[in-house]
Amino acid sequence: MAYLFTSESVSEGHPDKVADQISDALLDHFLAFDSESKVACETLVTTGQVVLAGEVKSKTYLDLQNIARDVINNIGYTKGEYQFSGDSCGVISLIHEQSQDINQGVDRASKEEQGAGDQGMMFGYATRETENYMPLALDISHKILQTLAELRREGKEIAYLRPDAKAQVTIEYSDEDVPQRIVTIVVSTQHDDFDKDDEAMLQKIKKDIIEILIPKVKALLPENLQKLFTDNIQYHINPTGKFVIGGPHGDTGLTGRKIIIDTYGGKGAHGGGAFSGKDPSKVDRSAAYAARHIAKNLVAAGVADEVLIQVSYAIGVVEPTSISVNTYGKAHIQLKDGEIAKIVEKLFDMRPAAIEERLKLRNPIYLETAAYGHMGKTPQTVTKVFESPYNGRIEKEVELFTWEKLDHVAKIKEAFSL
């Protein structure tokens, strides 16, 4: 019997994502001026206010308020009627020094013997159903909101959009786990107040989303997936009605509240740890990236059509406490999942310092991860500029999304005789 699966995403202007982006912008600045910084930064945003809190160990000093304001303005909160603007909001910093009790378990005389920054389990997942090896419902949800943000910034085809938005996609699958059709698409977008009755406003928004936005999203997908967009899709566009009050004025935002959107949209599994605002000594983040890197390369190499990797750690301990592999019965090799895991252990060094080095995680690469998912994006090399009244101006060339690189496919094929 066919089944349905749903994933959601939120825009860069969603209050929780505003908080995530501020936290990661602060992290990037600390790493840009001191690559060995230890950072655990949380952000709260609400009407006219930003609160920064957390623990930092760094040799640098930053103007945290200006960094937060720049992020808010770049997202698009620049107008007084939003009740939240980068130029006028208050920014309170409660950041203090990292506990030595935690740091002593992480820093060691030898970098290679760096302990894990916390206990816990992390997951990485990959599937063949999309070109970027991501779950389809989440991938489409992200694309809907990324395209909506592009339309908002252009301000031409749809001129009334505001930064806050959410999307949700439901897909029907066959018993063989093959996508059959898109059943439902939900889009809720913040908008300017219309000078007309609410019903006319809602009809205008619905028409623009279905006739302008959705065709642009469909065009981003390969032909086999475009066929899933039929005339029978049920659309729920701003189903509660008017959505003028939004962003941090409409709902308080916090760092780390969108961990399923950040990863796999409910597919695979999640260990519970958030990413944003954490430097890579926190294995919540770095090991989750490493697990995604393994899973994606295994699927790309042909080991299986779907792979879930779990890795776990004890705080202060160098070696992971476990590494496991789940191929969901879709492996293309005559090995059990436990046997596959043993080979994976030999191919990938999962000590925290080795992950940092392999994926180049001690670089300021994190703001780009903080909206529309940490997984599934295209690896690229960019030059980023950082300015500080205390440290001057620096330019750094960095690699983004290194955990998405298919750079271990050849090694995996050799190890598994593929």
- Name the binding residues for ATP: 14, 164-166, 242-243, 251, 257-258, 274, 278
Residues at the binding site for L-methionine are 55, 98, 251, 282
Angle, alpha carbons 186-205-81 (nearest 5°): 105
Beta-sheet pairing, 38-46 with 306-313: unpaired
- Strand order of the β-sheet with 306-313 is 120-127, 306-313, 322-326
User: How far is it, in rounded angstroms, from Cα 416 to Cα 32?
Assistant: 39
Neighbouring C-beta atoms of residue 305, cutoff 10 Å:
17
Neighbouring C-beta atoms of residue 45, cutoff 10 Å:
29
Residues at the binding site are 14, 16, 42, 55, 98, 164-166, 242-243, 251, 257-258, 274, 278, 282
Query: Exposed/middle/buried for 156, CB within 10 Å: 0-12, 13-18, 19+?
Result: exposed
**Which helix (H) or strand (E) is 190 found in, with range?**
strand 179-191
Residues at the binding site for Mg(2+) are 16
Instruction: Please enumerate in sequence order all residues whose Cβ is within 8 A of that of 103, keeping only pairs 6 or more positions apart, or say none.
Output: 38, 57
Would you put residue 82 in left (φ > 0), alpha (ψ -120 to 50) or beta? Answer: alpha
Q: Indicate the DSSP class of residue 210.
A: I
The full 3-state SS of 104-153, as one line of letters, equals CCCCCCCHHHCCECCCEEEEEEEECCCCCCCCHHHHHHHHHHHHHHHHHH
Query: Exposed/middle/buried for 53, CB within 10 Å: 0-12, 13-18, 19+?
Result: middle
3-state secondary structure of 211: helix
Residues at the binding site for K(+) are 42
